[in-house]
Amino acid sequence: MKRMRLHIGILLGLFLITFILGSFFDLQLSEAVFKQNDNFGLTVSVIGTLLGYSCLALCGGILFGLGLTRPYNNIVKVFLYIGAVAGFGLGIFFAGREFFGPNGFTNESIEWLGYVISLPFMCGASYLGYVAAKNNDSKSLLFVVIVMMIAIFLSLIPGVTLLKSIFHRPRFRTLSDPLYSEIVFHNWWQRCSNYKDLMALYNVSKEEFKSFPSGHAGATLLLSLTAAFAPLLDKRIKKNHLVLFYSGAVITLLVCYARILVGAHFLSDVSMGALLTTVFTFLANEAIIFYKQKYENKKESQPVEAE
């Protein structure tokens, strides 16, 4: 896991640079690439977040497998099964709502179909997690899963949601519409304090004032987070896990571009969303390194019994 410091640091530097660039050129970039309801952009956004949120179901499958295959007491097993259901359910909930609605294909009458489409993906991810738990005899597997889930929720739930509720940044697709003349561009550090008045004036939803930061970018980058810890879940992945890690990063960059393309976010929005996940991935990696070193030192300090 120590070697992952460099690779996580590369992503951290990349998204920090794009965040700084966005702070100066957000509006110009969005004006140059914006295409209202572009099918390519919407499709890439949906697929990216679907794959990202599958990591929640993967964690759920691992917890379920640990409950079935490890000799934990009944109380621990109950918590493992609750965590398994929560991971699977949240994966479907977050991924399913991105298909049809204000941030997906604009057909809210079939919003339920998004959850149906997400179901097989979450089942597949859960099964992979179950197999990983079943075939892994590492005592630290549960710790790895818990650290992963904490990283996921700290980067997405409190991080993204809290910042959105503080800044209320208008989305480019809304302020670019000539019908909404009083909704103007805000830099990411400029709080839109009169968003409630604008919502009432133009009868637009609160969703149009949740541009900063991007939850899609942060969610998609969960692929890289999972790939970073993949060798601890399955040793057979060790040779290829860097390919998976950077594949997740490439998919995230595509999603970032797609979100700018459809006017849902600015460059600084998607960069900050990805930065949040990258930072918590780094912290999670450090926690695992600390745990492994502590476990190995404890093992070395144990006296060797004479034969």
- 42-53 pLDDT tens trace: 999 999 999 999
* Predicted confidence (pLDDT) per residue in 163-198, tens digit: 999 999 999 999 999 999 899 999 999 999 999 999
In this predicted structure, the answer to whether residue 295 has a pLDDT above a threshold of 80 is: no
Residues 171 and 263: their CA atoms lie apart, in Å, by 7
Query: Tell me, what's the pLDDT at 61?
Result: 93
What sections of the chain are H helices per DSSP? 4-33, 39-69, 74-96, 111-135, 141-154, 161-167, 172-175, 195-202, 215-220, 222-233, 241-261, 267-301
Residues 272 and 278: their CA atoms lie apart, in Å, by 10
Residues 285 and 293: their CA atoms lie apart, in Å, by 12
Q: Is 25 exposed, middle or buried (CB count within 10 Å of its CB: 0-12, 13-18, 19+)?
A: middle
In this predicted structure, the answer to whether residue 307 has a pLDDT above a threshold of 60 is: no
Number of C-beta neighbours around residue 75 at 10 A: 8
- Is the whole model's pTM more than 0.85, yes or no? yes
Higher local confidence (pLDDT), 103 or 296: 103
Q: Which two tokens stand for residue 263?
A: 């006017």
**pLDDT grade for 153, boundaries at 50, 70 and 90:** confident
Length of the chain equals 307
Q: Is 186 exposed, middle or buried (CB count within 10 Å of its CB: 0-12, 13-18, 19+)?
A: buried
- End-to-end CA distance of the chain: give it in Å, rounded: 35
Q: Tell me which residue of 214, 43, 42, 54 sits closest to 118, measured CA to CA.
A: 54
In this predicted structure, the answer to whether residue 297 has a pLDDT above a threshold of 90 is: no
In this predicted structure, the answer to whether residue 306 has a pLDDT above a threshold of 50 is: no
Residues 54 and 120: their CA atoms lie apart, in Å, by 10
